[in-house]
Structure 1
Amino acid sequence: MFAPIIVLVRTHLGQPKFNQLRGKLIAQHAQIITHFCNCLNIDHSTRQDLIRLAQDNGKRLGLLA
């Protein structure tokens, strides 16, 4: 779904800058999930499951192309 956009951005930025940006965005997303879990007192293992789910969804949507 998003793979063509991701490939276009990667081509435009170049692989090193793209990887740096991608890493920052993934880290921010994990922090948001952690903050969400902390606010709702969700345990560590459930938080890890949510992060894995987000990663799997990203793969399916083509965000990790």
Structure 2
Amino acid sequence: MAATTICASGLKGGLVSSFHGTWGTSMVGDDYYALMKSVPRYVTVGKPVRSAPSMKNVNEGKGVFAPLVVVTRNIVGKKRFNQLRGKAIALHSQVITEFCKSIGADGKQRQGLIRLAKKNGERLGFLA
């Protein structure tokens, strides 16, 4: 960006700029060619490419209870384990809902508590 100052003596010779040249020639030379190399030559038209959504736990394999969860999943089997996990999550959500009813919390607070329980379960390794 060019810095421009105006001297106290007025406009007669008082306009000083660090920019030398004209706007037409400001992008000629090495800078122009470097910029042209960094810009792609063609643009694809169509749907943007998206990666597939991942439901994977970012803390998978981490947490205090992760080894126990992995061993249990290997013993019981993946399908049966996911059924049991779903039932446990549903029961835990019901407990949170009943707790919110007993203290008079609204639905937004209840959802916040359920999200907090999920984050804690991920950190502890229950969702490994």
**TM-score category (smaller protein):** over 0.9
Aligned to 1:61: 124
Verify: 1:15 aligned to 2:97, yes or no: no
Q: TM-score scaled by structure 2?
A: 0.51
User: Which amino acid counterpart does residue 106 of structure 2 have in structure 1?
Assistant: D
Greater relative CO, 1 or 2 (CA 8 Å, sep 6+): 1
Q: 2:73 is matched by which residue type in structure 1? A: R
Superposed CA offset, 1:2-23 (max 9, x none) = 0000000000000000000000
- Map of 2:106 onto structure 1: 43
In 2, distance between residues paired with 1:40 and 1:3? 32
Q: Determine which structure has the larger strand proportion and give its number.
A: 2
Question: Percent identity over the alignment?
Answer: 55
Task: Say which one has the larger Rg.
Answer: 2
User: When the two structures are superposed, what TM-score results if normalisation uses the length of structure 1?
Assistant: 0.99
Which blocks of at least 5 consecutive residues in structure 2 are unaligned? Answer: 1-63
Look up the match of 1:3: 66
Q: Which amino acid aligns with 1:14?
A: G
Which residue identity is paired with 1:36?
A: F
1:57, 1:41 → 2: CA distance?
A: 23
Deviation of 1:59 (Å): 0.2
Structure (1 or 2) with the greater helix fraction:
1
Aligned to 2:20: none
In the TM superposition, structure 1's runs of 4+ consecutive aligned residues that sit over 3 Å from their partners are none
SS where residue 64 of structure 1 aligns? Answer: coil
RMSD of aligned alpha carbons? 0.3
CA deviation string 1:2-54 (max 9, x = no partner): 00000000000000000000000000000000000001110000000000000
- Whole-Å separation in 2 of the counterparts to 1:3 and 1:27: 20
